[in-house]
Structure formats: structure tokens, C-alpha cells
Amino acid sequence: MTRHMADSLTAMPNAELHTGTPIVALEHSPAGWRLVDADGAHYGPYGQIVISAPPPQAHALIQPWDDALTAVCVTREQRACWAGWAIFEGPLPLIPGVTPGWQMARLDHPMLNIVSRNQTKPGRETQPESVSLLAQLDWSEAQLEQPAEWVAEQLLTAFKRTFLTAATFPKLIEMGAHRWRYAQPTTPCEYDYLYSANGLALCGDSFRGGRVEDAWLSGHRLGEALIGRSVR
């Protein structure tokens, strides 16, 4: 979705897109804001900086510059989520009583929360059988510092035991797990975004509910609020 939206940037004069560039500091001068990356390179000056990183990560950038936004970064706590995946040589066997083309399951299970079949998503029909295994938040936080390989094994075993017998499982091609340390907001938020008169703004799913739609609405509404503003 973001790649599709970024396509239109190439047609805009003066628009530059830098990906894979961790920003470690903000600097301010009469000319505006500059971003400093991990290699010391500078970007800008810009009139407005929008940070969509989860608040605990935005904190380090905001803290030297804005007390009100810093306080929000501190109070908008995020919960962690382990996300596993597994790719199989063949399709999963049918589960008795379940539609063959099932796409997603939400579980009442101490470890597993959501299972989704990625090849059922639009545009991925030619991909092999691949499942995402999202862990429960309580379990994720209890196992937060475990190695990814161990977590992947645990999630896959829970999936197999819950859904199917090992004897009927297709051959595994690849599996793994990723720790999302700042995956979901702990509490709901009464505003969709936040900005300061000094040209700094915060947005992202953490200001709403923790899903893609929340992220989009937060950024879209911030964009609408900033249109026409000129901040230096």
C-alpha cells in the first residue's frame, strides 16, 4: 500500500523519498528543521516534521525540542507482539467442517492469537502456502527476550496441535519469527494526531487503535490539518 502511494511522489517536483534511513536526531535553525541520520548525513531544511514511528521510538527525536509532545510519547505505551511465519511446500490439508479457502482464524488459545494465510491475500495467488502466526500479547511479553528461533518453534507447534495432526502436514520450507516491541497501543487515545506550533507532529496507528486503517486515518487527518500551514 505504501509503495503504491509513494509512486505519485516521483511525479512531484522537489519530492525526495529516502527509505531504510534511521533518523537519530532533529536539528533546528532559522531556516527550518533538519533530520540527521545514523551516518551523520543531514536532510532538509523542512518547515514541518511528521513522525509516524511508535511514540516510544519518536521520544528520542522529540524530547530535546517539545515538552508537550514528549509527555505524550511517554504516556502512549505500546504492547509487544511476537509474529511467526511458516512457508510450506504444499497446501494445508482440509480441516473438517472448515471452508477449504479459509483466510484467517482468531483463536481462544494461551499462545496463538491470529493465524492468517498469506497466499489468500489479493495479488499473492502464485505464492506457496504461507501462514502468519500472531501470538497473544500476554504470551509475547512473557517471552519477549527469547530467541526468535525458539519462538517460531513454539508458535508452529501450537498451530499444528490446534489445527491438524503432524502426520498430515505438508513439508516445511522456511519458518521464523519477528519481535514487534511496539506493536499495539496499550490504551485508546482521544485524538488522532498531535502537532505543535514549532513544526513538529506525531501520527500513526498508536493514536487510534493499532490497525492499518487507524494508521491511514491518523496520517490523513494530520495532513488535512496541516494543509495551508506554514511553520518555521
Binding site for ligand FAD (CB under 6 A): 22-23, 52-54, 57, 81, 83, 134, 180, 183, 204-205, 210-212, 214-215
Q: Report the nearest approach of ligand FAD to the CB of residue 163 (Å).
A: 19
* 198 to 141, 211, 223: CA distances (angstroms): 36, 29, 16
Residue 46 or 93 having the CB closest to ligand FAD: 46
Report the residue number, 57 or 120, with the smaller CB distance to ligand FAD: 57
Rounded Cα distance, 8 and 173, in Å? 37
| CB-CB contact of 43 with 35 (8 Å) | yes
Give every CB contact of residue 168 below 8 A, 6+ residues apart in sequence.
93
Nearer to ligand FAD among residue 35 and residue 163 (C-beta)? 35
Toward ligand FAD, which CB reaches closer, 57 or 63?
57
- What is the rounded CA–CA span in Å between residue 86 and residue 138? 22
- In whole angstroms, the minimum distance from the beta carbon of 165 to ligand FAD comes to 27
Name 35's Cβ contacts closer than 8 Å, sequence gap at least 6. 23, 25, 26, 27, 42, 43, 44, 46, 49
| Shortest Cβ 215–ligand FAD spacing (Å) | 3
Least CB distance to ligand FAD at residue 209 (A): 8
Q: Find cell 515538552 and name the residue.
A: 67
Nearer to ligand FAD, 81 or 86 (CB): 81
CB of 132 to ligand FAD, least distance (A): 7
Minimum CB separation of residue 166 from ligand FAD in Å reads 25
Side by side, the strands of the sheet bearing 194-195 are: 49-51, 200-202, 194-195
User: Which residues make Cβ contacts (< 8 Å) with residue 184, sequence separation at least 6?
Assistant: 78, 79, 81, 137, 210
- Neighbouring CB atoms inside 10 A of 76's CB total 22
Q: Which is nearer to ligand FAD, 74 or 94 (CB)?
A: 74
